[in-house]
Each structure stands twice: as structure tokens, then as C-alpha cells.
Amino acid sequence: MWMKTVFWGLLLFMLVATTMAVEYGARSHNSGPWSWCDPATGYKVSALTGCRAMVKLQCVGSQVPEAVLRDCCQQLADINNEWCRCGDLSSMLRSVYQELGAREGKEVLPGCRKEVMKLTAASVPEVCKVPIPNPSGDGAGVCYWAAY
């Protein structure tokens, strides 16, 4: 008798879990709070022109003028959804790579390798003291894609 009860209990659990997964899009690769940042859903990616200039200057070791830093930080802070900030930085970085014809392991600009530019861009939220989601809970204000 108890085997039958366990079987029906597991079956009910599977039915509820499957229903919840479908309802909340668990099988979707684009689910969760970051899905609101998808341009396919109408989200407008920020160009982050100030951050673009800041990252280029930092990567080659140049001093970043206060006005450029302020513009970058304000543009990043103006992105209302914290989940979209790293995605917009990543998009900005891809456009810089495309503009400069960057390839892996190569210099993007004289004295600036692609990997260094990537780490520089990933640290912009920390430099600007602009919050980003941190699922790991380690307190880092660095965009996660820097590790990839």
C-alpha cells in the first residue's frame, strides 16, 4: 500500500514541477530577469558612448578625463534594469571589437590586447559604483562574462 502512495506522490510532484517549469519558462535559454534585456523583446540597448571612450583610454594606459568617467557612469546608471547593465557593456565591447577588427589574442589598439579590454569593460560597474546583480554573492561588482 505504501508503494502505491509513494508512486502517486511522485507522479503528482512530477506533474506540478513540469507545470511550473512550463509556466515560468525554465526550459527557455532566455528566461529570468535578464530576459527583459533582450533586443528581440523590444529592449533598446544603450550605446554607452562614454564607457566606450573610457575603456579605450584605460586599456592603452591613458588618463581618463573626469568628464568621460562621469558620462560613462551616468550612462550606465541610466540603465533602469540592473540586469541589463552587463549585457549593454558586453554589446558595447562587441561593437568596439567589430569597429577595430579585433581578433582573439591580438592588439585591439596599440598597447591594448583584446583580453585586457574585456577585463577593463567588465570592471566598469565597480569603477562607477553602479550596482549589478551578483548571483554568486561574493560582493564583486564585475560583470561575470569577464571570466569567459
List Cβ neighbours of 72 (8 Å cut-off, separation of 6 or more). 48, 50, 51, 53, 54, 124, 128
Average pLDDT over residues 19-26: 39
Position 34 pLDDT exceeds 60: no
Domain 43-147 has CATH 3.10.580.10: no
Average pLDDT (112-116) is 88
Supply the pTM of this predicted model.
0.70
Q: Cβ(92)–Cβ(47) under 8 Å? A: yes
According to DSSP, the residues that pair with 109 across neighbouring strands are 112
Provide the grid cell at 120: 577593463
Mean pLDDT of 136-142: 68
Strand residues in the chain grouped as ranges (E): 107-109, 112-113
Predicted confidence band of residue 44 (pLDDT cuts 50, 70, 90) = confident
Q: Which three cell numbers stand for residue 56?
A: 579605450
Whether 40 shows a pLDDT value over 90: the answer reads no
